[in-house]
Structure formats: structure tokens, C-alpha cells
Structure 1
Amino acid sequence: MSIIDAVVPGAAILFAMVAAVAPGRAARLAPIMLPLLVIGCLVQWVLESFYWQMVPIYLVIGATAWLTLSRTPATASRRRRILTGAGRGTVGLLALIAILPWGFQPVPHLPEPTGRYRVGSEIFRWVDQQRPETATEAAGVHRNVVVQAWYPTDFASGRRWVYIDGLGRLPGSVSLVPSFLMSNYGSIDTHAFADVPISADRMQWPVVLFSPGYGAPRAFYTGLVTDLASRGFVVLAIDHPYESAVTELADGTLATPAGHFPDNAADGDRYMAEQLSVRAADLRFVVDQLGRSDAVGLLAGRLDTDHIAAVGHSFGGATAVAAAALDPRIRAAVNIDGTLYGDLPDRALQRPFLLLESDHSETGHSAQYLDRSRSLIEHLQAGGFRYEIAEANHFSFTDAPLFLAAPARYAVAQFIGGSRGPVDTQRAADDIMAAFLQGPLGGSPADIPAAAAHHPNIHGGPVP
């Protein structure tokens, strides 16, 4: 939220409350305050465009103007009488209502990456001609896989990447977030530049595949993945069409969820296992494309395809493990808070493994999650690590909490946890992941426990 976003609504609401409790004082201030408020609204509109959150503010300013401005003693007396009754209550109620929309940030501010590199980005919309799309009944449709690459660069350009696909034609909601709340998300600074070359610090860069949570678009992890990219990894964030809330396909159409999650628990488990197979195939298809110079644009020849890891959050974490279990080209797997499905818990994973978890007491992990994670760890063949980040909830690894203003985030955290906040949670997660990935992806092995100990209240360590 910018300064003008805070000052204009705050002044309008404060003046309205003064009008409700001290009408005489408000009438004396009105000739000064009302023009300033109108000018402030105009400046906000010109500099930042229209915000739907400003509509109640406009109503508050209008109501306060009607009840405080007067040109004759008679009208002043009549308006003062109105203010002594329902009018004063109406203005006060309007002022209180006008506060509520500001719980949602008009333009969320994502944290700046903390690594040594700037971040470049490019989007690839590929079609797997070997797989028909089973989620749609349209004839001749093949599986689309959409990938956004976030990579280290030494340059900045004048153009930055738009936060989310399909702005201006989004469905009614995106992962339970009403799309009208996103009307100004085109102004979000992703801290990533377009049309810039990958850094020349090394000839080839290690690759991290990233899979989002069930139904979540890749955009909701921008803070997490850009920070990881700034540390020296090419992060390929993947959208899984017809499951993701919104995906722009290669032909420009928007794909929205087509599946229907079963009510029955057993059927739900089977459904998720089937979806897991689809997702794992998406990741393996992405790996297939990395060596094709005509597929990866500015990154051609600069990707170290001998050093690839898979990372994911929630269902994406299960996807990362599944892909690593199936594809020997994937050298390590990171599961962030993801429940495993199918036969995955009983697999003898041959790759180094990291489990990052939110606070068990705040997220309330299911018995399935706990039992299946324990089983996978017991079967590990290459060792691994497990860390729990205290005061982080399941959503703290995403950008979603940043859609709320700080007071609203605080209030929500009192009910569902996550008081650590998304910025601190993501920084801790990226520190641990970067240290864990160094060895499997060709770098010098790092001190993973030291990376975890750099942050307070993180519990865990190596697992057998």
C-alpha cells in the first residue's frame, strides 16, 4: 500500500467520524478538508488508476460534504438537525464500512529477492503432442504445459513481468480469491525483468522445477521462486492446466478447473493419485524440453540438464517427490507441506530429500500427511532432512497473505495461525532449500543445519 493509498482514505474516514460526533467542528473544517480530499482522490486516480476500494471512500466524502457544507444559515441549521439524528449515524456507519475493503491490498507488494543476482523471466507455453488432454472432451486437444522461468541475470530492462495470466478475463475466483480483488494486480512489481540474458557468471545453471499447490496458479508463489532464482538457480514454475485456477494455453485461451473432487475419502485418494500421475508426467515433459534450443528461448544452451531438482508446495510437494521417484534425471526433491498419495509413501526414494513443514500446531496436518511422510522418510535410500518452521501456516509459503493489508493479516493470523508472516517464512524456506540443493545440483555441499539455525524457532535436522 502506497502512502497516498493510506493518507487519502485515512483522512476521509477520520473526517467523516468527526462529522458524526462533532458536526459543528466538521462544518468549520469542511471548506479546507473537502477540496483536499477531492484533490487527493484525483491524484490517486491519475498516479495509480482506479481502485475499487476507493468507491466507499468516494461515498463517504460525498455524504460528509452533503452534511457539512452550507451556504445559508437556514441550510446550515437544517443539516445540523439532520446530523443530530440518523444522518450522523449514517456517516459514521459509512466510515466504518469504508475501512473494510482496505483489508485487501489494491496492489500487493512482494518482497524483493535477497540473492546476489537480479532476476529475469520468460514464459514458455508448450504442447505435449504425445499426450491427449483427458480433462476436456474437445477432440484433438493435446496436453499443454505452461512454464515460467525465473533466472539469475546481471541486467535490468524497462519491462517487468505481469503477475498473473489472464488479467482482464479471469474467472469469478482464482483459488478462492474473488477475481475483482485482482483488478489492479497488473501493477504488482514481480521484481523480474523481461528480455534480459541469463547471467554470464557461469556457462550453465542448475535447474529447479517448481510445482504449485492443488488448484493454485504458479503466480501465487512469485515471492518464493524469485528469491530462490536470485541465489543462482533457474527456477521453472509450472502451471498444470485444467487443475490450476487459471492457465493461459499456447493458443491464448484460458483453461480453468475441469475436475470435480469426490466427496468420498477413498474416491478422493484415488482421484488425487490419478492427478499426481498427470502432474508427474508434466514435470518429466518439462525436463524433455530443456535440451531443445528452440524450446527455451534466451536460456538455450545455458541450462545444466545434468543437475535438476524438483520442488513443490502442498500437492506440488507430492508432485516433486513423484517426479524424482520416476525420473533419474531429477537429482533431489523438496516437499513443502505436501500430503503423499498412491504408492508414493512406500517408495524407496533414491534421491536426497528435504521435507519443509509449517507449524504442526497451526496448520493441523492430517493423520494421512503425518503417516505417509513418516513412511517415505523410513524408506529413504539417499538420506534427507526435515524442518518445521514455527508460527508458519500452510499458506505462509505463498503470496496469498500479502494480498491482505498488515492489520488484516494480523487479525487472520489470530484464527488460522501464520503470525511469522510470509516474508520471514519464505526467506527461511529459501535459505534451507538453497543450502540443501547445493550438493545435489553440482555445487559445494553446504551446512544445511547452519542455514536453518540462522532463523529462530526452526526445529528439525537430518533424518535417517
Structure 2
Amino acid sequence: MATSRRRLAASAIVALSVSVATVAASGAAYAAPAASSASSAAAAAVAPAALQFSLPASTGPYAAGEEVLHLTDTSRLDPWVPASGYRQLTVSMFYPARQGTGQPAPYMSLGEAQGFVQDRVPPGFGVTAEEVASVQTGAFTGAKAAPGKFPLVVLSPGLENPRATLTALATDLASRGFVVALVGHPGEDSGEQLADGSISPCVTCGGGPGKPTPEQITANRGVDVKFLIDQLLGGRVWKLSHLIDRHAIGMAGHSIGGAAAPAAMEDDPRISAGVNMDGTFYPVVPSGALGGRAFMMLGRDEDHTAGGSDSSWSDTWADLDGYKRWFAVAGASHAAFTDVPLLAQQAGIPLPGYPLDALRGVQITRAYVAAFFEKTLKGCPEPLLDGNSAAYPEVAIQH
């Protein structure tokens, strides 16, 4: 295989840890506890306020409602820790909602945020779990659902990234008229809160002997997603399942979550369109595997241009036999398709070596992923997908 396991791990870890470190660095000036009340008062006078991060407003006509589901697949044991029992999933459901209803939703639970700070933020920067949990998302719990039926899009995050790192994309898709299932894969990231309140440890982190291979991870995610879709369409696990148009289902993912999209499509013919955001394909998608279904590849130009260093993209592109699009984004980092660089930029800390503005990365990701699913799941014409766009000069169509 042209791209090694070591390169996958390095790409995922470096891209996220650098981005998170830049966010965390904004908290470095926190004062240490003082010995006297006078020194405490002096420290308080110069200490910065708690960090307050927010995601950009969604662009569609709907508000974004959110509800967290905890699902258990009693047909199989957890693949990474079989002794822990049946496979569990934690899923954030975003849906088109009525404006002005519900209460602001947290970015993560406090326990998830504690795991994120512990595992993904280098020590000594002062970022607290409370600050991470309270990122303003623009989503609302308890929001009243908008009337109608809407396509379902499953989102899968990158290796070691909690599901929350795709929230900006999820909320925007919901505002544009999609139901979004943002799935956390326990054991594969810094921690998902399970039904009993416990936080799942990261079993796959770090790579090395005895760790699951990328192929094993993508295959497992395909099974996770098929189970999730079964549960949502069954109508018993989510009170708003009537919103889902069962004949219009797509999947998108970042990094290894993007590599899992074709694996899920191979497992489940109900998924009619897929998107890989900057993930090496593990494995390369074989010819005819998607049965003529639609697929889009959206990645950074550093690796993912035609003839670029990640040969899995060119190899997969050649074998895709349905509607297909491939776009490369100039100046983007691996994490540019997630929330994390945006939070770093809000803290005033740049991401060295990657000139694409973080907010611009979110805008590009939202625009192209939404356009692809508008076309493939709703049948809407989307000129943005037909070639290069003056509105997005950073994005170049390949082939």
C-alpha cells in the first residue's frame, strides 16, 4: 500500500494536536494559585477572562435542533474491548427546527471535554474542560422540529477526533434541510460519553504493534453506520425519526471517517452518496464496489491533487463508476475541514504553514458538502460542482 500506517497516524495526530495546541495556547496566561489574598487580587486584575469560543452561524433557513442518542448493538461485542460487552454508539442528531425554540446545546459533555483536554491538548496551556464544553454551537436542544421529511446524512469524524469536531458542518447541513447523524465511535477518539455516563477510553490511539489497522477501523465503522441507519429507520430509538426520508441517505467523513464512507456504502446499499474529506482510502475502493452511486473527494492540495502524493485518491477515482467529483483546496491543513482550526483562529493563534483562513475552511467545507448532497439526495442543480468557481478561488476541480 502506497501510504503507510505510520503516515496515517502521524497525519491524524499532528494535524489535530497542532490545531488543538494553538487553541490551547490562548489560555497560557492563566495565573497560578497565590499564597495571599493581596497577590490573588493582583493576579485577578491581570488574568484573562475565560475563553469563549463559538462556531459560525448556519446559512440555511432552519434552526438546528440537537439531541444525543445512546445506542447498543446487541448483535456484536465491542470490537476493541470485547470484555466491555456489546458495541455502544453515541450519536448527536441534528435536525431542521423552528427558529426561536429550544435551549443552546453544549459542544461536548463535561466528561467528553475533560478527555479532549487531557488527550488532545498539550499540558501547560491553561485550557479548561468547561471552556471546551461551552463552545457556542448554534444548535438547540428541545427545539421544535420543522415540518416535512428530509434526507439523512451520517457524519463520521477523523481518527482520535471526538464527534463534536464536525459540529459546524452538522449544524449547517441541518439548517439547510438535512437530518444529520454525527456518530461517535467509542474507543477510537479522546472519549465519547456512554449511556451510563462513563467516558470511553481511546483504544486505537497511537498506532503500533497490536493496535487495530486502518482497514480494520474503516471496516468497523461501516458496521457501526449500518447499525445506526437500521436503528434510525426502525423508528423506535429516536422520537423524530419520522423526519427522515428513508430513500435519500448519504454519508460524509473526515480523515479515516472519510475512508469509512465507501466501506459503509459497500455494506449498505441504502447509502446513495458519499464524501471523503481529506482521508487516505483504507483500502482503495475497488472497481464497481459502489454500484454506480455518487461520490465526492474534497481534500487539501498538499496531498490530494490529481497525481499527488496520496496515490489512493487517484487509484480510487479511476474505479468510481457513478457521478463523481474531486476538489482540492489550496493552503488547507488536514484539520481545515473540522472545527478545530477555527477555534484556534478565534484565540488569535495562527496555524503555521497553512495559509487558508480557518473560517474560510469552514465555509468551503459547508458549501461543497451541502452542494453535493443537495444534488445527489434532493436532485437540485448545483453549478458549484460543475467546475472552478469565482466564489471559491481556493478550490480547484481535478480531472
Give the TM-score normalised by structure 2: 0.81
Structure 1 residue 406, shift from structure 2 partner: 4.6
Q: Please list, as runs of the form range in 1=range in 2, the aligned pairs for 1:227-242 lying within 5 A after superposition.
A: 227-242=172-187
Structure 1 residue 176, shift from structure 2 partner: 1.8
For 2:120, which of 151, 176, 183 is the aligned residue?
176
Cα distance, 1:194–1:171 mapped onto 2, change above 3 Å: closer
Q: Are positions 1:376 and 2:316 aligned together? A: yes
Q: Please list, as runs of the form range in 1=range in 2, the aligned pairs for 1:59-74 lying within 5 A after superposition.
A: none
**Alignment match, 1:425:** 361
Instruction: Give yes or no for contact 1:166–1:254 (8 Å, CA) kept in 2.
Output: no
The residue type equivalent to 1:441 in the other structure is L
The residue type equivalent to 1:460 in the other structure is I
Please give the per-residue CA displacement for 1:398-421, whole angstroms capped at 9, x wherever unaligned: 1112333557433x3xx331x222
Q: Which runs of 5+ in 1 are unaligned?
A: 1-50, 67-90
Cα distance, 1:65–1:193 mapped onto 2, change above 3 Å: closer
For 1:143, which of 87, 103, 108 is the aligned residue?
87
For 1:315, which of 244, 256, 277 is the aligned residue?
256
Please give the per-residue CA displacement for 1:395-444, whole angstroms capped at 9, x wherever unaligned: 1111112333557433x3xx331x22222112112211222112321332
Structure 1 residue 295, shift from structure 2 partner: 0.8
Q: Are positions 1:206 and 2:142 aligned together? A: no
**Alignment match, 2:67:** 122
Cα distance, 1:406–1:302 mapped onto 2, change above 3 Å: closer
Q: Are positions 1:189 and 2:136 aligned together? A: yes
Please give the per-residue CA displacement for 1:307-332, whole angstroms capped at 9, x wherever unaligned: 00010011110011211122110000
Instruction: Give yes or no for contact 1:276–1:322 (8 Å, CA) kept in 2.
Output: yes
Q: Please list, as runs of the form range in 1=range in 2, the aligned pairs for 1:422-461 lying within 5 A after superposition.
A: 422-449=358-385, 453=389, 454-460=391-397
Instruction: Give yes or no for contact 1:397–1:426 (8 Å, CA) kept in 2.
Output: yes
Q: Please list, as runs of the form range in 1=range in 2, the aligned pairs for 1:71-150 lying within 5 A after superposition.
A: 106-138=51-83, 141-150=85-94
Structure 1 residue 185, shift from structure 2 partner: 2.7
In 2: Cα distance, 1:456 partner to 1:288 partner = 40
My pick for the range that moved more, 221-230 or 177-186, is 177-186
Structure 1 residue 113, shift from structure 2 partner: 0.9
Cα distance, 1:423–1:451 mapped onto 2, change above 3 Å: farther
Instruction: Give yes or no for contact 1:161–1:190 (8 Å, CA) kept in 2.
Output: yes
The residue type equivalent to 1:121 in the other structure is E
Structure 1 residue 383, shift from structure 2 partner: 2.9
Q: Are positions 1:277 and 2:219 aligned together? A: yes
In 2: Cα distance, 1:172 partner to 1:427 partner = 25
In 1: Cα distance, 2:367 partner to 2:205 partner = 37
Structure 1 residue 196, shift from structure 2 partner: 1.7
Question: What secondary structure is seen at the aligned counterpart in 2 of 1:170?
Answer: helix
In 2: Cα distance, 1:340 partner to 1:147 partner = 24
For 2:235, which of 274, 293, 314 is the aligned residue?
293
Question: What secondary structure is seen at the aligned counterpart in 2 of 1:280?
Answer: helix
For 1:335, which of 241, 254, 276 is the aligned residue?
276
Structure 1 residue 65, shift from structure 2 partner: 9.3
Instruction: Give yes or no for contact 2:113–2:133 (8 Å, CA) kept in 1.
Output: no
Question: What secondary structure is seen at the aligned counterpart in 2 of 1:184?
Answer: helix
Cα distance, 1:284–1:174 mapped onto 2, change above 3 Å: farther
Please give the per-residue CA displacement for 1:133-177, whole angstroms capped at 9, x wherever unaligned: 1322536x1000111011111233352111113448823745522
Structure 1 residue 228, shift from structure 2 partner: 2.0
**Alignment match, 1:152:** 96
Cα distance, 1:448–1:58 mapped onto 2, change above 3 Å: farther
In 1: Cα distance, 2:38 partner to 2:258 partner = 51
Structure 1 residue 375, shift from structure 2 partner: 0.9
Question: What secondary structure is seen at the aligned counterpart in 2 of 1:296?
Answer: coil
The residue type equivalent to 1:379 in the other structure is D
In 2: Cα distance, 1:254 partner to 1:334 partner = 29
In 2: Cα distance, 1:255 partner to 1:230 partner = 30
Instruction: Give yes or no for contact 2:60–2:176 (8 Å, CA) kept in 1.
Output: yes
Equivalenced residue count is 365
Q: CA RMSD in A?
A: 3.3
Please give the per-residue CA displacement for 1:433-463, whole angstroms capped at 9, x wherever unaligned: 22211232133232233686121221115x5
Cα distance, 1:280–1:288 mapped onto 2, change above 3 Å: same
**Alignment match, 1:359:** 301
In 2: Cα distance, 1:169 partner to 1:109 partner = 15
In 1: Cα distance, 2:188 partner to 2:137 partner = 24
**Alignment match, 2:19:** none
In 1: Cα distance, 2:151 partner to 2:247 partner = 8
The residue type equivalent to 1:326 in the other structure is D
Cα distance, 1:168–1:393 mapped onto 2, change above 3 Å: closer
**Alignment match, 2:108:** 164
In 2: Cα distance, 1:446 partner to 1:204 partner = 21
Structure 1 residue 54, shift from structure 2 partner: 4.3
Structure 1 residue 393, shift from structure 2 partner: 1.1
Q: Equivalent pairs: percent with the same residue?
A: 28
In 2: Cα distance, 1:210 partner to 1:150 partner = 11
Q: Which runs of 5+ in 2 are unaligned?
A: 1-26
**Alignment match, 2:165:** 220
**Alignment match, 2:191:** 246
Question: What secondary structure is seen at the aligned counterpart in 2 of 1:434?
Answer: helix
Please give the per-residue CA displacement for 1:203-243, whole angstroms capped at 9, x wherever unaligned: 21001000000010011111122122211111110000011
Question: What secondary structure is seen at the aligned counterpart in 1 of 2:363?
Answer: helix
Question: What secondary structure is seen at the aligned counterpart in 2 of 1:107?
Answer: coil
Question: What secondary structure is seen at the aligned counterpart in 2 of 1:305?
Answer: strand
In 1: Cα distance, 2:139 partner to 2:40 partner = 43
Instruction: Give yes or no for contact 1:431–1:452 (8 Å, CA) kept in 2.
Output: no
Please give the per-residue CA displacement for 1:347-375, whole angstroms capped at 9, x wherever unaligned: 64321111001231xx699x996211111
